[in-house]
Structures are given as C-alpha cells and as structure tokens.
Homo-oligomer: A and B are copies of this chain.
C-alpha cells in the first residue's frame, strides 16, 4: 500500500491517510499510537488474577463519596489524571476526550471530567464504549484533527446494578449466567507521537439483535454482535484467526464465549486457540463468586490498559484484535418486553 492514498470521487481528487477497506473497516497508513494507558480499579478487582497489574487499586469502592455514581466519577477522574502523569503530559495537550459510561446521561463521565475542561465527545456503546472511543479517537488523530486525544470509560458494580437491575439493598440472588460489573476506569492517550503500540485498523459494529430477553445473561445478548464484527473484520481485511496473536473480547464471560465460538464456527472461523475474554480473566470465579465473569465498560478498558498493553509493549503479542462488546439494555424498554440487542467494535493493534 502506498504511503498516501489518492483516489478520485465525483471528479474531485481526494487525498486520504485513512483508507476505507471492505464494507465497514478502515486501515490506517499513518498509524495513530497508543502513547500510554492507565487503569484504576476497586478492591475486588485488585484481588483478582490480574490485580497486581493495575496502576491503582482503590481500597474503598465508594471513594469516600455518598453515592455510587459520584464514586464512579472519581474513578474516571483518577484514570485521566494517571494517564496524563504516566505520559508526562498536561491536560492542555489533550484536544478531545472520547468517553462514556453505563449510567444514564453519562454522569460518570460528566462529573469525572468536568474539572479538566477538555472538549468532550460523549459516546454510548454500553460495554463496547472503549472500542468505540478508541476507534473514533484513532480516526480523528490520524486525520490530523488532533495531536493527542484520550479514550476513556468507567463502570461501577453498585451503580450498574441500580441502573439496570435492582439496588444492592434489595438483596437479589444472581443466576450463574450473570456477570459481575467491574468497578474501575481505564484511559488511553491516542497520539501522533510514537508510543507503546499502534492502532492499525478498525472495524465498526452494527446493532445485532438475536431476540434475547434475559437481563441476567448479557453474554448471550452480546455474543452475536461480537461474531458479526469479528467475521466482518476477517472479510474486510482478508485475514484469518491465525493472523493474530490474540483476539480479545470485552466481557462475554463463560456463557457468551461458548456462543461466540459456536457461531463463529458456523461461519468457518475457529478462534479458540487465540481467544481471550477480559471478563473471564478479570476474576477467579471459583473463589470470588462472580459467576460467568466480569463485565461493564471498565472490564475491557482496565484489562486492556494493564495486562494487554504490557504484552504489546514486551512484544509477547505483535498483532491483536481488541473487541469490547456491549449489550444495549435499557431498564425501560426491557420492562416493556423488548429484547436486548448487542453491539461490538473491533480495534486492530500492533506492537511498535
């Protein structure tokens, strides 16, 4: 591929450094870099198998606040501060923040980044938010519209249970298909400056609805969307599972993983040898009582900004797909009898 892509459209000569490939992918030629990443989690996540790898383990999931929602905001605030510190950057060097969370009207983000006064693109893709934020951030940086942007998201076990199911005080039993929302926040700086890894392509997901109506089984809601975007990625780029050192889904958990493998097998793709799910890695289900695994926007975001980025930095993995997965569940539409559709966004990342 040539360094700069020139093509004609409607008799106008267009120069582009981003190149549309296939039906829904972009390949970057002037690749944007992941300059730095930061992860902040709560105590339960700190006790999990990946616990030592997070930048900060907060011992108080309330962060000294009176509400879970304000606590979640402070996780975002801390992740943003941490990633700036690690990159030795000031907030004025960040042109945009792409961020969102699971709470209605994105209040985790709103109150988390308020004081930084950085222009914000608020986004919502349920637990696929980190993939959406990184996709948009990479496109904006590559186009020369920013030198540095931050992609960030958060979730909180208690605020999510209240938002989507029941407040914790209700003491509801959790079925084995349920996942445990990760408390924490992950942030990356996407930059023109060379960093830990480079984003070489993105495949943007569609809404996929297989008709699942079980609010306690997010894995089943999200798996078909992950299948759709992963298969589209292979088609658009002409690649196969063996072309990647790891294919990392966000928070499908044990139930979703089984569905993912089965549906991808039906399309002729076997990813079982290179697959990893952040939700499955986050907790030790045998002692932490987390059932099908971890979930929430922060699940993919914190595992990516700790464990995954380290493997890329050490070149243990040279080329990966990162696919945060989201279940578009609304308590209102769910209570009205509607299904829970899913969406997933795929980011191709390579070591430098």
Contact = CB atoms under 8 A, between A and B. Distances in A.
A32 to B, nearest CB: 11
Contacts of A207: 110, 113-114, 117, 120
Interface in A147-190: 147, 162-163
B105 A124 contact: yes
A176 B5 CA distance: 56
A126 B105 contact: yes
Contacts of A140: 139, 143
Contact of A144 (B18, B118, B192): B18
Contacts of A110: 207, 328, 330, 341
A44 B298 CA distance: 42
A284 interface: no
Contacts of A30: 12, 14
A122 B114 contact: no
A49 interface: no
Contact of A143 (B139, B330, B341): B139
A114 B333 CA distance: 14
Nearest to A207: B114
A69 interface: yes
A296 interface: no
Given A122-B125, A330-B103, A12 B69 contact: no
B111 A124 contact: no
A285 interface: no
Contact of A192 (B10, B163, B194, B209): B10
A88 to B, nearest CB: 14
**Most chain B CB inside 10 Å of its own CB: which residue of A113, A143, A144, A336:** A144
A143 B204 contact: no
Given A105-B124, A330-B103, A338 B111 contact: yes
Contact of A104 (B117, B136, B331): B331
A330 B16 contact: no
Interface of A: 4-5, 7, 9-10, 12, 14-20, 24, 26, 30, 66-67, 69-70, 95-96, 100, 103-107, 110-111, 113-114, 117-126, 132, 135-136, 139-140, 142-147, 162-163, 192-194, 204-207, 209, 328-333, 336, 338, 341, 343
Given A10-B193, A15-B15, 16 more contacts: A5-B144, A9-B147, A9-B192, A20-B95, A20-B147, A67-B333, A70-B333, A103-B332, A104-B104, A105-B329, A105-B333, A107-B332, A119-B204, A120-B204, A122-B343, A143-B145
